[in-house]
Amino acid sequence: MALLRITCTRILYTSPATSIRRRGVEAKVIAGEMAPQPDPHLRSMLIRAHGWARDLKAGVQLMEIARRESVPGAFIRTRAQLAFLSPKI
């Protein structure tokens, strides 16, 4: 059951299915039971990281992968570690 209380200076609305999540200076109000959606950028990066890890295991040089992807070697070196994340998270 939602509760609405109004005073002179503020309006307070509480509901068991509402939560507020802070992100830096922004606040995001989450209402109801929302199913989480996968982040498309993270998903894409995980797929790329698995491909890079597979290439590295096959003996392809890191700089060759970086040239093929048009990114610095450090980018591949740091992002390839995503391939080893636990699937439970």
Say what the pLDDT of residue 37 is.
81
Instruction: Indicate if the pLDDT at residue 24 is higher than 90.
Output: no
Instruction: Indicate if the pLDDT at residue 11 is higher than 80.
Output: no
Instruction: Indicate if the pLDDT at residue 88 is higher than 60.
Output: yes
User: Residue 19 — very low, low, confident or very high, per pLDDT cuts 50/70/90?
Assistant: low
User: Residue 39 — very low, low, confident or very high, per pLDDT cuts 50/70/90?
Assistant: confident
DSSP-based three-state secondary structure for 34: coil
Arithmetic mean of pLDDT, 24-50: 81
- CB 76 within 8 Å of CB 69: yes
Length of the chain: 89
